[in-house]
Structure 1
Amino acid sequence: MRVLIVEDDPVHAKAAARVVAPLGHEIVEAGDGEEAVRLLRSAPFDLVILDWLLPRMSGFELLYWIRRTLGASPAVLFLTSKVLDDDVVLAMEAGADDYLVKPFRVAELASRVNALLRRTRRESDAGGLVCAGDYALNALDRTVSLRGAPIELTPKEFDLTALFFNNLGKLLSRKVVSISTWGRELDPASRTLDTHIYRVRQKLALVPENGLRLSSVYTHGYRLDVVPSGRSHAAASLHRPVAQAASPASSASPASFMPAGFAYE
Structure 2
Amino acid sequence: MRHKSGDTPASRPRVALLEDSPEEAQAAIELLTHNGHRVMHQKNGRVFFEMLQRDSFDILILDWSVPELSGYEVLRRVRDNLRSNVPAVMLTARGSEFEVVQALNGGADDYLVKPWRPFELLARLQVQLRSGRSQPAAPGEDEIEGWHFSAADQTVRRGTEEFRLPLKEFEVARMLFRHLGRPLSREHLNETLWARQAASRTIDTHVSRVRSRLGLTIDGGFQLQAIYGFGYRLDRVA
Structure-1-length-normalised TM-score: 0.48
User: 1:69: Cα distance to partner?
Assistant: 2.5
Aligned match of 1:73: 85
Aligned match of 2:106: 94
Aligned match of 1:125: 178
The farther-off stretch of 79-88 and 115-124 is: 115-124
The CA deviation string for residues 216-243 of structure 1, in whole angstroms up to 9 with x for no partner, is xxxxxxxxxxxxxxxxxxxxxxxxxxxx
Q: Higher relative contact order by CA 8 Å / sep ≥ 6: 1 or 2?
A: 2
Q: Does 1:63 align with 2:116?
A: no
* Aligned-partner residue type, residue 127 of structure 1: L
User: Alignment length, in residue pairs?
Assistant: 140
Secondary structure in 2 matching 1:27 = strand
Task: Decide which of 107, 130, 139 is 2:119's aligned counterpart.
Answer: 107
The farther-off stretch of 78-87 and 35-44 is: 35-44
* Aligned-partner residue type, residue 43 of structure 1: D
Larger radius of gyration: 1
Aligned match of 2:54: 42
The correspondence of residues 203-218 of structure 1 with structure 2, limited to 5 A, is none
Secondary structure in 1 matching 2:17 = strand
Whether contact under 8 Å (2:20, 2:44) holds in the other structure is: yes
The CA deviation string for residues 117-161 of structure 1, in whole angstroms up to 9 with x for no partner, is 1222228537229xxxxxx998x869896xx5xxxxxxxxxxxxx
**Cα distance in 1 between the residues matched to 2:107 and 2:68:** 21
User: 1:5: Cα distance to partner?
Assistant: 0.7
Structure-2-length-normalised TM-score: 0.53
Q: Say if 1:12 and 1:5 are closer, same or farther in 2 by CA, change over 3 A.
A: same
The CA deviation string for residues 70-116 of structure 1, in whole angstroms up to 9 with x for no partner, is 32432110000001011111101110010000001111001011111
The CA deviation string for residues 178-226 of structure 1, in whole angstroms up to 9 with x for no partner, is xxxxxxxxxxxxxxxxxxxxxxxxxxxxxxxxxxxxxxxxxxxxxxxxx
Q: Which runs of 5+ in 2 are unaligned?
A: 1-12, 135-143, 145-176, 183-220, 224-231
**Cα distance in 2 between the residues matched to 1:35 and 1:42:** 11
**Cα distance in 1 between the residues matched to 2:127 and 2:38:** 16
Q: Tell me the C-alpha RMSD between the 2 structures.
A: 2.8
**Cα distance in 1 between the residues matched to 2:102 and 2:26:** 27
Aligned match of 2:22: 10
Q: Say if 1:137 and 1:69 are closer, same or farther in 2 by CA, change over 3 A.
A: farther
